[in-house]
């Protein structure tokens, strides 16, 4: 489809959650905004499809959405008016262990703590503090480095968040508590011995206790459709099937925001950038990739432990030590025999995902960036450890290696779904060391993807902060801070 060549106030290249959030904020402030999407369907990581058999709807990338529910910006939008309905599992996440009972993340701190035995009080003390402060610090944690509005509350969170997850887990005694922390921290896609890997664990657990880990009814694409519906309701325009590789393809606009990673940004606009900015973008680091499997099932996964049969998400990695070793091996370029596996069971709570009586399952493990190794057997063996007979209920499967993940979404360089490593070296300097991480060296060009703070996840905050910066710079419009 030919692009609309009339003039716009702002153009957003890419329609992932960050691109959509940026477009909405700018349209809310009276601008004429166009979103350009390279694929035939909007959404980026928010897409769903019948990947295996007719009637079985699978989430292609993101599946469970604690950060969407907790997002300081997305929760201000009337997305329910545009068809979005969240479903909340009875158990947010389960973490089974061999020869020991399962650890669980439940909505209640007390209910979660009671399954941690000798660590009950230690967990309660930790998470009561985090959840008490979270409403005060959420917009600061999920944003760029700046002076916080509640410095004492943020400092209290930061003292634990900056620790390696293995150190945070060290304050607990039981296998369950240590494994729960490790499984949460491994979402960071880096060794859990790294500095600041406790941050993602604390954020995910706080989100579970405050909002839950919801499943969008009908598929993750329903979040994208709701965001797009609201954007169009405000008067915004979206054009699909236009993959941008050059600034010359774009209509005229005062500001252009790119929901892409540094690699694509350099291809599109590198000739416009200063030598220093370009040099920094060229040295941006991408992290571990993912290998993903979707299954159509004749029945739900036959987990031995009842807690796993009620969980929307299941972390399969056994003990802290096993998760630590698997993630370190992957980081070092190897493929562990027993990878840490993230598994989702959307059809347990969403009947639209599969024919009556049937089920779906979604899972991935981390692999070295760009890996082509088939990890299906390794993943299925990990499931079989805790659900003997799992392979007997498989009707069909669909796999995606790192190359196929990148083909699906060009932002997933080498299969990296986080838009780049979020280790201490890039935590505060993604994508470059600059006063504003969203502003490029060329006036009017901005980056709003997960390669900017706060990084990966469906929360829209990268797009929100990039749009806020562009509104101030180009249009002299100041946006009030989020509460």
CB-facing half-sphere around the CA of 175: CA atoms within 13 A: 14
With 90 as the cut, is the pLDDT of residue 43 above it?
yes
Distance between CA 48 and CA 56 in Å, rounded? 10
C-beta of residue 397 within 8 angstroms of C-beta of residue 268 = no
Residue that the structure tokens 């639209």 belong to = 352
147 pLDDT tier (thresholds 50, 70, 90): confident
Mapping DSSP to helix (H, G, I), strand (E, B) and coil, where does residue 86 land?
strand
Domain extents in the chain? 8-84+216-286+419-475, 86-213+288-408
**Domain 86-213+288-408 annotated CATH 3.30.70:** no
Q: What is the pLDDT confidence band of residue 150, given thresholds at 50, 70 and 90? A: confident
pLDDT over 70 (residue 1) = no
Mean pLDDT along residues 171-191: 98
Q: Does residue 108 have a pLDDT over 70? A: yes
**Distance in angstroms (rounded) separating the CA atoms of residues 369 and 403:** 9
DSSP symbol at 341:
E
Q: How sure is the predictor about 482, in pLDDT bands with cuts at 50, 70 and 90?
A: confident
Q: Report the pLDDT averaged over residues 441-446.
A: 98
Over pLDDT 70: what percentage of the chain? 99
- The pLDDT value recorded for residue 145 is 81
pLDDT at 97 over 90: yes
Q: Which three-class secondary structure state does DSSP give residue 207? A: helix
Q: pLDDT tens-digit profile of 449-464?
A: 999 999 999 999 999 9
Average pLDDT value for residue range 54-63: 97
d(Cα 290, Cα 270) in Å, to the nearest integer? Answer: 28
Question: What percentage of the chain reaches a pLDDT higher than 90?
Answer: 93
Q: What tens digit of pLDDT does each residue of 116-130 get?
A: 999 999 999 999 999
Cα–Cα distance between 380 and 362 in angstroms, integer? 11
Q: In which band, very low, low, confident or very high, does the pLDDT at 22 lie, cut at 50, 70 and 90?
A: very high
User: Would you say residue 3 has pLDDT above 80?
Assistant: no
pLDDT higher than 70, residue 483: no
Burial of 129 (0-12, 13-18, 19+ CB in 10 A): middle
Q: Assign domain 8-84+216-286+419-475 to a CATH class.
A: alpha beta
- pLDDT at 112 > cutoff 70: yes
What CA–CA distance (Å, rounded) separates 25 from 135?
21
pLDDT at residue 197, as a whole number: 97
Q: What is the mean pLDDT of residues 242-256?
A: 97
* Burial (CB count within 10 angstroms: exposed 0-12, middle 13-18, buried 19+), residue 344: buried
- Mean pLDDT across the stretch 179-198? 97
Q: Mean per-residue pLDDT for 396-422?
A: 97
pLDDT bin (cut points 50, 70, 90) of residue 328 is: very high
Beta strand residue intervals within 38-90, DSSP E: 48-49, 58-59, 86-87
pTM over 0.75: yes
Sheet containing 253-258: give its strands across. Answer: 237-239, 33-36, 8-13, 253-258, 445-447
* DSSP per-residue letters across 101-134: EEEEE-SSHHHHHHTTGGGHHHHHHHHHHHHHHH
Q: What are phi and psi of 9, to 5 degrees?
A: -70, -45
Sheet holding 91-97, edge to edge: 100-105, 91-97, 311-316, 341-344, 359-367, 289-297, 394-400
């Amino acid at each position: 489809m030919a692009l609309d060549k009339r003039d716009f106030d702002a153009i957003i290249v890419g329609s992932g959650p960050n691109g959509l959030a940026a477009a909405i904020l700018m349209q809310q402030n009276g601008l004429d905004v166009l979103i350009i999407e390279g694929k035939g369907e909007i959404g980026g990581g928010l897409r769903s499809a019948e990947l295996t058999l007719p009637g079985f709807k699978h989430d292609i990338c993101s599946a469970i959405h604690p950060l969407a529910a907790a997002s300081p910006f997305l929760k201000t939008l009337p997305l329910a008016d545009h068809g979005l309905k969240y479903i909340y599992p009875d158990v947010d996440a389960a973490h089974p262990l061999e020869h020991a009972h399962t650890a669980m993340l439940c909505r209640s701190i007390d209910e979660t703590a009671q399954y941690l035995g000798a660590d009950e009080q230690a967990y309660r003390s930790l998470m009561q503090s985090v959840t008490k402060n979270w409403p005060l610090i959420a917009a600061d944690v999920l944003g760029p480095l700046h002076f916080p509005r509640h410095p004492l509350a943020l400092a209290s969170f930061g003292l634990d968040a900056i620790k390696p997850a293995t150190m945070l887990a060290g304050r607990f005694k039981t296998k369950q508590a240590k494994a729960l922390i490790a499984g949460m921290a491994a979402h960071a896609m880096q060794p859990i011995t790294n500095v600041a890997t406790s941050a993602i664990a604390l954020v995910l657990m706080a989100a579970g206790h405050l909002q839950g880990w919801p499943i969008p009814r009908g598929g993750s694409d329903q979040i994208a459709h709701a965001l797009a519906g609201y954007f169009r309701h405000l008067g915004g325009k979206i054009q699909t099937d236009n993959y941008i590789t050059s600034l010359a393809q774009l209509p005229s606009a005062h500001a252009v925001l790119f929901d892409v990673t540094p690699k694509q940004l350099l291809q599109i606009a590198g000739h416009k950038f200063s030598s220093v900015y370009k040099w920094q973008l060229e040295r941006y680091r991408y992290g571990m990739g993912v290998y993903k499997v979707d299954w159509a099932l004749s029945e739900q996964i036959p987990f031995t432990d009842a807690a796993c049969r009620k969980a929307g998400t299941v972390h399969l990695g056994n003990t802290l030590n096993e998760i630590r070793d698997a993630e370190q091996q992957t980081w070092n370029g190897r493929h562990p025999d027993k990878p840490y596996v993230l598994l989702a069971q959307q059809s347990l709570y969403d009947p639209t995902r599969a024919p009556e009586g049937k089920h779906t399952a979604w899972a991935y493990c981390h692999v070295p960036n760009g890996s082509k190794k088939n990890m299906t057997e390794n993943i299925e063996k990990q499931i079989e450890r805790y659900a003997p007979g799992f392979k007997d209920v498989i009707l069909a499967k669909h796999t995606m290696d790192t190359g196929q993940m990148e083909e699906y979404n060009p932002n997933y360089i080498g299969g990296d779904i986080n838009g780049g490593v979020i280790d201490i070296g890039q935590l505060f300097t993604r994508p470059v060391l600059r006063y504003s991480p969203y502003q490029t060296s060329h006036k009017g060009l901005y980056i709003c993807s997960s390669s900017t703070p706060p990084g990966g996840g469906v929360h829209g905050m990268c797009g929100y902060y990039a749009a806020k910066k562009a509104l101030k710079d180009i249009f002299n419009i100041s946006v009030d801070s989020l509460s």
